[in-house]
Amino acid sequence: MRGEPVVVDTSCWVEYFNRPEEEAANAVRVLIQADRAVLNGVILAELLQGARTAGEASELRYALGAVAWAETSREVYGRAGDLGFDLRRRGVTVPVTDCVIAASAETIGGRILTLDGHFEEIARYTCLTLLPV
């Protein structure tokens, strides 16, 4: 990897694949070219769930096959649960999938590229850094 790794959230991958002219898609391209883009299991599952056909799902698997992978270990899931708990105590509710993605990003340096507003809430209370799109 050439530079700090960045977890690319589902929202930005959707832009990359479906609206390549958008700023978020360009940001993903830059990260891929710099070998800094990172994917995890939750993001892959969300992308595959959104595929319209089996062929599209197969193309997604192939296209994402070369992207660096962040393992989601027991510790990551534990951190995600703690994060969700802490946020809820502050009156902030975010999906558990976003907590897992955020915890995964924390384990590799805390950087994420996203269009999802939930991560702004998470970043407010953690070391998560949101990259501008």
Instruction: Count other C-beta atoms under 10 Å from residue 17's C-beta.
Output: 18
What is the rounded CA–CA span in Å between residue 5 and residue 126? 18
Positions in the chain whose pLDDT score sits under 50: none
Confidence (pLDDT) at 3: 84
Per-residue tokens: 61? 């698997």
- Beta strands 6-8 and 111-113: pairing type? parallel
Domains and CATH numbers, the chain: 6-130 (3.40.50.1010)
pTM listed for this prediction? 0.93
